[in-house]
Structure 1
Amino acid sequence: MRILLVEDEPLAQDRIKSIIEHHFPSWTIHSAVQSIKELREELKSPDAFDIILCDIHLADGLSFKAFEGREIAHPVVFITAYDQYALQSFDHNCIDYVLKPIDENRLVLACQKAEKLCISNSGLNLNSRLIDRLISHYNSKSYKKRFLVKVGNKFSFISSDKIAYFYSEEGFTYVVEIGSSSRYMIDHSLQELQDNLLDPQQFYRVNRSIIINLDGLMEIKPYLNGRLVLSLNARSEAAIVVARERVSEFKNWINQ
């Protein structure tokens, strides 16, 4: 199998390649592209590859733009940090939708599905129950609206939209309110917040230790080694810095 890999994050690209090499040693990466422009050029030679593994947010926009007006016959597996494009992806021959951070087993299953379609040459007739299940899931999905915190000797609630950022320190997770200088401990890890509880259009994990709220963001400045430093409408004892490998995706996120 020949793979057209569309991914503009070096770390994500390396991880996908590593998973492919480990589980599908006979497969080859025909080409690895990072922009809509490069993807459009590759799609002009459809006989050069068999399967497309494709990120959605690229440096110059959504990869969907490259597919518009084209008849795509290849199985496409979309790989993205954003779940809101799942239904739209099925307009572009999507056979599976893998969320970041990439789970190895999940990507392997998607690739196996794509391989079966190529071998059987059965076309991309999707199971209607799968589509119905996706529609139900994404139409009904809701995010956490408030968090229980302890204030002195009593408990209180903080609305999600009032939180400037979440951060972890020594194994504990804290929230800081917009316009506040106080922090409150909560019973959720950053990974749990990112994966299940926070709206990805509103909250973004800028590095391993911090998730910010778009509404609390006030200023963005260049920082050391290609990173960005953020000013939020809340107190922060240390600089809030966007990790270098997340800068491209972060810029796409704030321009959504």
Structure 2
Amino acid sequence: MKILIFEDEPLAQERIKQIIDKFRPNWEIVGTSQSIKDSRLLLQNNQSIDLIISDIHLADGNCFDVFENQNRKIPIIFLTAYDQHALQSFDHYCIDYVLKPLQEKRLIDAFEKFEELCVSQEGKSNENALLNQVIEKLNGKKFKKRFLTKVGNKMLFKEVDEIAYFYAEDKIVYLKEIGSSKKYIVNFSLEELENQLLDPSIFYRINRSVIINLEALIEMKSYHNGRLKLIVQSSDDMDLIVARERVGHFKDWINQ
């Protein structure tokens, strides 16, 4: 089984390789790339490819540009930090659509779907069923509209449009209110907020400790080591820095 990996984050690329080496040691990774240009060259130079694992947002743009005008039907497992491209991915022989942060079991499940479709006599039916599952998932997904917080002995709700950002400090997660320096404790981890509770078209995790609200963003500035510094509608002096490995994805997200 010959595999290509299109992934612009070195750590994510290495993670995919480790999972393949551990659970599919007979698969051969014949090439990796981080950009649209290099991905196109890999496709041109490798005519016998069984599977592509591709992040949707590469270093120089959207991976769908790689697959335009491709006559070959190569199965693709798409990886991404947000789910708004799910339906578009099925225009490109999508086998599965895996949301980041990448979980080992979830990627292995995608491998199994690929293997089932490769040997199935009803591949087309399976593909349509998978599409229907994705549509049902997207249509049924609900995001939180408000958060219950505690201030002293008082309990109160904060609507999501009142929140400038969430941040973690000393294992406690806070939300910061738009237009003030007030902060409130929330009883969720950043992982739960990012993966389950917040709308990914509005909220983005810029680094390990902070998730920002796009609606609260005022300004972006270049920061040292290829990072970005963000200014939001909140009266505090906390530095909101986009991690270097997330800058490309963050810019794509802003331009969605």
Structure 1 position 134, deviation (Å): 1.9
Deviation string, structure 1 residues 139-162 (Cα, Å, up to 9, x no partner): 222211111122443322111122
Aligned to 1:24: 24
Would you say 1:40 and 2:40 are equivalent positions? yes
| Partner Cα separation in structure 2 for residue 27 and residue 112 of structure 1 | 13
Aligned to 1:114: 114
Aligned to 1:54: 54
- After the TM superposition, which of the residue ranges 59-68 and 99-108 deviates more from structure 2? 59-68
Deviation string, structure 1 residues 54-73 (Cα, Å, up to 9, x no partner): 11112222211222232332
Higher RCO structure (Cα 8 Å, ≥6 apart): 1
Q: Sequence identity, in percent? A: 53
Aligned to 1:130: 130
Deviation string, structure 1 residues 183-230 (Cα, Å, up to 9, x no partner): 011111110000001011111111111100111112222223222221
- After the TM superposition, which of the residue ranges 140-149 and 41-50 deviates more from structure 2? 41-50
Q: Which amino acid aligns with 1:82?
A: Y
| Partner Cα separation in structure 2 for residue 52 and residue 96 of structure 1 | 11
| Partner Cα separation in structure 2 for residue 126 and residue 7 of structure 1 | 29
Aligned to 1:230: 230
* Aligned residues of 1:93 and 1:124 also touching (Cα < 8 A): no
Would you say 1:148 and 2:143 are equivalent positions? no
Would you say 1:173 and 2:173 are equivalent positions? yes
Residues 69-108 of structure 1: pairs in structure 2 closer than 5 A = 69-108=69-108
Aligned to 2:244: 244
Aligned to 2:63: 63
3-state SS of paired residue (1:245) = helix
RMSD between superposed Cα atoms in Å: 1.9
- After the TM superposition, which of the residue ranges 135-144 and 167-176 deviates more from structure 2? 135-144
Q: Tell me the number of residue pairs that the alignment of Structure 1 and Structure 2 aligns.
A: 255
Structure 1 position 129, deviation (Å): 3.5
Q: Which amino acid aligns with 1:222?
A: S
* Aligned residues of 1:206 and 1:212 also touching (Cα < 8 A): yes
Structure 1 position 113, deviation (Å): 2.9
* Aligned residues of 1:148 and 1:155 also touching (Cα < 8 A): yes
- After the TM superposition, which of the residue ranges 43-52 and 179-188 deviates more from structure 2? 43-52
- Taking structure 1 as reference, are residues 121 and 2 closer, same or farther at Cα in structure 2, changes over 3 Å only? farther
| Partner Cα separation in structure 2 for residue 121 and residue 174 of structure 1 | 49
Structure 1 position 178, deviation (Å): 1.1
Structure 1 position 40, deviation (Å): 2.6
3-state SS of paired residue (1:235) = coil
| Partner Cα separation in structure 1 for residue 234 and residue 21 of structure 2 | 45
- After the TM superposition, which of the residue ranges 44-53 and 205-214 deviates more from structure 2? 44-53
Aligned to 2:213: 213
| Partner Cα separation in structure 1 for residue 166 and residue 239 of structure 2 | 14
* Aligned residues of 1:59 and 1:252 also touching (Cα < 8 A): no
TM-score normalized with structure 1 length: 0.92
Structure 1 position 123, deviation (Å): 7.9
* Aligned residues of 2:180 and 2:236 also touching (Cα < 8 A): no
3-state SS of paired residue (1:135) = helix
* Aligned residues of 1:163 and 1:176 also touching (Cα < 8 A): yes
User: Can you give the 5+ residue segments of structure 1 that lack an aligned partner in the other structure?
Assistant: none
| Partner Cα separation in structure 1 for residue 232 and residue 137 of structure 2 | 33
TM-score normalized with structure 2 length: 0.92
